[in-house]
Amino acid sequence: MSDHGGGNVTEQWVVTKAMKNSTNLLAAFQLTLIILYAIWGGEVVIKLASGSRGYGIPGTGTQAYNMFIGVLIMMFIGFGYLMTFMKWYGLGAVGFTMLVTAMGLQWAVFTESFWSQIGSSSDSEWHTVDLDMYSLLNALYAISAVLITFGGLIGKITPFQLIIITIVELIFHSFNYKILMTSWIGLNDVGGTYIDHMFGAYFGLTVAWVLGKPKTAPAMGVIPDIFSLIGTTFLWVYWPSFVAGAAQADSDGQERAFVHTILALSASTIATFFANTALLPDHDKKFRPVDIQNATLAGGVAIGAVAVLNIGSFCAVMIGIAAGLLSTVGYHRIQPYLEERWGLHDTCGIHNLHAMPSVVGAISSVAVAIALPNGYGPVSKPQWQAQLLAIPVCMGFAVTAGFLVGKFLKIVAPKNDGDDAKDFHDSEWWEVAGDYEHPTIGNNNSSGIEMTGETASFHQALTNKESENEV
C-alpha cells in the first residue's frame, strides 16, 4: 500500500472514531435529558409575573408562540443559511445549526432554571423546571449565543467538539445571565445585546484563538453567496421578534421595541451599502457580498439593550448607522488585522457582526440610562452604573470561559490536523451526492479539487476541448 493510500486509511479511521464519539455523546446527552425531565420537568403552565426573561407579565400561549416561531425561524433558516457562504460547507452550516438548536431547546431550560433558582432570594427550596412557551423562547435566546460562537468556528471543528461546546457554553451562558448580569449587576437587556451577542461572540472568538488558525481557507461561490443572503433576509425580517419577544406582551415597550429594531436595521443596511464601497479603492468599487450579508444586521444587535425605552426614532437610527459603519469597517480592516497580527481566524466574522455592535449597543445603553434616569423603571441605584459595569464583566467572563473551553477541547477532543484534513468541506462529516467535488492533494485540475461523476466528465471534456484549440 502506498504512503498516500495509508494516509487516507489513517485519516478515515480518525474520522470514523470522531463520528462514533459524536453519536455516543449525543446518545448519552439525550439519556441524561430524559432523566432530568422525568425528575425535574414541571407541568406546562404559564405563571403570572414570570414573563420571558422576567420583563413584565407574560401574554397568552398564542402570543408567546408567535414570538417563539419568529425566533425559531431566525435560528434554523436565518443563522443556518447565513453560514452557507462557503462553497463546500452548506450541509454543515444548516445541518449543525439544526442540531445545536435541537440540543439547546431541551438543555437550556434546565441550565437557566438551575442558575435562576440559585440566584433568586425568593426560592427557599428547589422546585421543578417551569415549562411553557416563554421558557422555550428563553431557550432560543440562549441558543443564539451558541450559534454566534459556531459562526466563528464553523468548518474548523468536529461534530464532537461542537456538541461539547453546545453543552458547556449553555451552562456558562446561563450563569453569566442569571448570576452575573441579573442577580449581581442588575443589568437591563431585553434584546440580548450583552447577554447573547456580547457573550456568544467573545466566547467564540476566544475558543477560535485557542484552537488556532486552519491550514486551509474555505472556497467561495456565487450560489453560496445567494443562499447566505437568503439567511440575511430571514434574520432581518424576524429580528424584531428576537428583540421584542422578551418584552411584556402588547405593551408600549414591546411596540417601541418593534419600531426601534426595524429603524435600526434599516439604518444599518443603508450605512453598510454606503461604507462598503467607500472603503474600497476607486478601481474596485463593487458591493461585497460579505458586507451585505452581515453588517446590514448590526443595527439589530446594537439596539437590543435600549429597544423598549422611549429613546425616539432619531436615536434608533443613529445607533443603527453607527453599528453598520463599524461592522463594515471590521470586515474591511479589523478582521484581516486580527488574523494576520494575532492569529485569530474568525470564519463568519462574528467580531464584526456581533462583538463590536454589541459594544456600540452597550455604550448606547449607558448613555440612555444617564439621559433617562427613570427610563428603566424604579431602581435602587443609578441604572447607568449597572449598564457600564456589565460591559467588562460580560466580556471578561466570556473570554475566561472561552479560554477554558478551548483548552479543554485541545486536551479531551483534539482534532486531526494532518496534511489531509479537509476543513470547510462537508465530505469530512456528511454523506455527499455524486456531484460533490472532493478536495484532494496532487490532482491535475487547477482548482485543487477532485472531480467526480458528471462534473468530472464535464471537466475532462472541457480540458480536451481546450487542448484541441491550442493545437
Instruction: Summarize pLDDT for 259-280 with one digit per residue, the tens.
Output: 999 999 999 999 999 999 999 9
- Cell triple for residue 156? 474548523
Per-residue pLDDT for 87 more than 50?
Answer: yes
Backbone angles phi, psi at 310, to 5 degrees: -85, 65
- The CA dihedral of 69, 361, 264, 147, to the nearest 10 degrees, is -30
C-alpha to C-alpha distance for 471 and 468, rounded to whole angstroms: 5
Per-residue pLDDT for 455 more than 50?
Answer: no
Backbone angles phi, psi at 243, to 5 degrees: -75, -45
> What mean pLDDT is predicted for residues 345-358?
97
Least confident of 82-86, 176-180, 347-351, 373-377: 373-377
| Choice between 380 and 333, residue whose per-residue pLDDT is larger | 333
**In this structure, are strands 129-131 and 41-44 parallel, antiparallel, or unpaired?**
parallel
Residue 11 is predicted with a pLDDT of: 56
Q: Residue 201, CB half-sphere, CA atoms under 13 Å: how many?
A: 23
C-alpha to C-alpha distance for 341 and 202, rounded to whole angstroms: 18
The percentage of residues in the chain with a pLDDT greater than 90, rounded to a whole number, is 70
Q: What is the mean pLDDT of the chain?
A: 87
Backbone angles phi, psi at 51, to 5 degrees: -65, 180
The answer to whether 322 and 355 are in contact (CB under 8 A) is: no
Per-residue pLDDT for 439 more than 60?
Answer: no
**Where, residue-wise, is CATH 1.10.3430.10 in the chain?**
3-412
Residue 12 is predicted with a pLDDT of: 60
Cβ neighbours of residue 80 closer than 8 Å, sequence gap 6 or more: 93, 94, 97, 98, 231
> Does the 3-412 domain belong in CATH 1.10.3430.10?
yes
Residue 128 is predicted with a pLDDT of: 85
Determine the 3-state secondary structure of 130 from DSSP.
Answer: strand
Residue 14 is predicted with a pLDDT of: 59
pLDDT-derived band of residue 123, with 50, 70 and 90 as boundaries? low
pLDDT-derived band of residue 465, with 50, 70 and 90 as boundaries? very low
Residue 441 is predicted with a pLDDT of: 37
The percentage of residues in the chain with a pLDDT greater than 70, rounded to a whole number, is 83
Q: What is the pLDDT of residues 304-330, one digit of tens each?
A: 999 999 999 999 999 999 999 999 999
Q: Residue 257, CB half-sphere, CA atoms under 13 Å: how many?
A: 28
Q: How many CB atoms lie within 10 A of CB 354?
A: 32
Which residue, among 273, 354, 259, has the nearest Cα to 306 in the 3D structure? 259
| Entry pTM | 0.89
Backbone angles phi, psi at 250, to 5 degrees: 60, 25
Per-residue pLDDT for 236 more than 60?
Answer: yes
Instruction: Say which residue the cell 467526480 belongs to.
Output: 452
- Cell triple for residue 115? 442558575
Least confident of 48-57, 153-162, 332-341: 48-57
- Cell triple for residue 291? 458586507
